[in-house]
Amino acid sequence: MAKSPEEEHPVKTFGWAARDPSGHLSPFIFSRRVTGEEDVRFKVLYCGICHSDLHSIKNEWGSSNYPMVPGHEIVGEVTEVGSKVEKVKVGDKVGVGCMVGACHSCDS
């Protein structure tokens, strides 16, 4: 039997979201999945908004889905790590760039 959305994504999270192409961001509560064994959860301390985010917020490329929480250049503090994580620990400062989770098995 399939899990309900609340079971799959039980962790309540806060962000600033675009809800339409107006370019305005507003407070937004959404849900995330629990931290997996290879995941790192962190509190966002700083987040950059780049030109790609601005194009996406305003749907200038015609492929945006709303609501959208923009920002992919992030600095934060680790709050939880999965059981298989070895490189960082709770309390460490971390950064996330625009390229994350690539499979490294194809040219893209």
Q: Supply the pTM of this predicted model.
A: 0.76
Instruction: Give percent of the chain above pLDDT 70.
Output: 92
Dist. CA 56–CA 43, nearest whole Å: 24
Q: Model confidence at 82, in pLDDT bands (50, 70, 90)?
A: very high
The residue type of 95 is G
Does the pLDDT at position 80 exceed 80? yes
Q: Residue 55 belongs to what H/E stretch?
A: helix 51-57
**Residue 108 DSSP one-character state:** -
Does the pLDDT at position 98 exceed 80? no
Give residue limits of the domains in the chain: 35-96
| β-strand partners of 32 | 11
pLDDT for residue 45: 95
> For 31-74, how does the pLDDT look when each residue is reduced to its tens digit (9 = 90+)?
989 999 999 999 999 998 889 999 999 999 999 999 999 988 89
Dist. CA 57–CA 69, nearest whole Å: 9
More confident residue, 8 or 82: 82
